[in-house]
Amino acid sequence: MNATDQTTLLPTVPAEAPAPSLATIEAHEITAWFGDRMVLDRVSLTMKPGAITALIGPSGCGKSTFLRILNRMHELVPSAQLAGEVRLDGEDIYDPSKRLIDARRAIGMVFQKPNPFPAMSIKENVLAGLRLTGTKASRSAKEELVETCLVKGGLWNEVKDRLDAPGGSLSGGQQQRLCIARSLAIKPRVLLMDEPCSALDPTSTRVIEETMVDLAKEVTIVIVTHNMQQAARVSSECAFFLASQGTPGVIVEHGDTAAMFQNPQDPRTSDYVNGRF
């Protein structure tokens, strides 16, 4: 058989796998309680594919609770209760016939305080999620994954020569980017970030914001932030949460970030985005 014949026998394979389609996550009529205290009251929000959606609002209005409901972390609190639905591309993540691990694998989370495993190497930190979710990969696939995730997390150039150094040896901003890289290793479809920059200096914050904007091309991002400038810089969609005088949190207004900041429809949104409370 000559070379030409062989070529004709090869199946046509695209040069690269097609980019995974971006996910939509929809919360419908979410009501949440801790014990008998209601903290969210019928909150509905669609977080659009490829968008960075910012959740803003004063402390205690239920932003973190809402975020944790989106990846089934709320139910880890024994007193927590929940009504409503969360759909990832139309599929109910609370469907009892579905495995919790599948929801967790699809929806990554980054917290306010960078929390890499401090004694574990940078490389092992990135791979930690694979173990937790029982994902198998060959040694070479792992090496490639470590590099890809650290590149996407905006940390590769700073750590490529010391992948075996402990995660705890990095600066705060680098640790947070390591946590982003770690959450990417399980290839989530949605990335939830709860005030990811509030423990960081302005330079690290800027680096993470740039990383986030790049990541939004491949993963739908939802970020809680207290920083209005950050919401304006990174997000395309915004939701303003409020819990006034002990009432449960609600969304007062949501929509296009620029429109909401420039022309808020509700006077309470206007007060908040203009720093009047």
Cα separation, 224 vs 58, in Å, equals: 11
Which token pair is 22? Answer: 């971006």
Give residues in contact with Mg ion (CB under 5 A).
64
Q: Indicate which of Mg ion, ligand ADP, none lies near residue 60 (CB less than 5 to 8 Å, by partner kind).
A: ligand ADP
Q: Would you give the distance in Å from CA 179 to the centre of its chain?
A: 11
| Interacting partner of 61 out of Mg ion, ligand ADP, none (Cβ under 5 to 8 A depending on kind) | ligand ADP
For residue 113, state whether it binds ligand ADP (rule: CB under 6 A).
no
Instruction: Enumerate residues 157-216 that contact ligand ADP by CB under 6 A.
Output: none
Q: Is 225 in the site for ligand ADP (CB under 6 A)?
A: no
Classify residue 218 by its DSSP letter: T
State in angstroms the smallest separation of the CB of 63 from ligand ADP: 4
Q: What is the 3-state secondary structure (H, E, C) of 2-55?
A: CHHHHHHHCCCCCCCCCCCCCCCEEEEEEEEEECCEEEEEEEEEEECCCCEEEE
Alpha carbons 264 and 232: distance in angstroms, whole number: 13
Q: Is 74 in the site for ligand ADP (CB under 6 A)?
A: no
> If binding means CB under 6 A, how many residues of this protein chain bind ligand ADP?
10
What Rg value do the Cα atoms of the chain yield, rounded? 21
If the CB atoms of residues 40 and 146 are measured against ligand ADP, the closer one turns out to be 40
Contact call for residue 61 and ligand ADP (CB under 6 A): yes
Shortest Å, Cβ 242 to ligand ADP: 10
Piece of the chain touching ligand ADP by CB under 6 A; list 60-68, 110-118, 144-152, 205-213: 60-68
Within 8 A by CB and 6+ apart from 258, the residues are: 232
Contact 87, 44 (CB under 8 A): no
By CB under 6 A, tell whether 70 contacts ligand ADP.
no
Q: Estimate the crossing angle of helix 122-132 against helix 139-152, to 10 degrees.
A: 110
Residue linked to tokens 């996407």: 152
- Any residues with CB less than 8 A from the CB of 224 and at least 6 apart, and which? 54, 55, 56, 63, 64, 67, 193, 194, 195
Q: Which of ligand ADP, Mg ion, none is residue 254 near (CB under 5 to 8 Å by kind)?
A: none
Structure tokens given for 27? 């919360």
Q: Which does 65 bind (CB under 5 to 8 A by kind): ligand ADP, Mg ion, none?
A: ligand ADP
Q: Output the smallest distance, CB 62 to Mg ion, in A.
A: 8
The residue within the footprint of ligand ADP, chosen from 23, 62, 71, 106 (CB under 6 A), is: 62
User: Does 64 interact with ligand ADP (rule: CB under 6 A)?
Assistant: yes
Using CB under 6 A as the binding rule, whether residue 221 contacts ligand ADP is answered as no
When the beta carbons of 66 and 261 are compared against Mg ion, the nearer one is: 66
- Candidate segments 11-19, 53-61, 131-139, 158-166, binder of ligand ADP by CB under 6 A: 53-61
Footprint on this chain of ligand ADP (rule: CB under 6 A):
34, 39, 59-65, 77
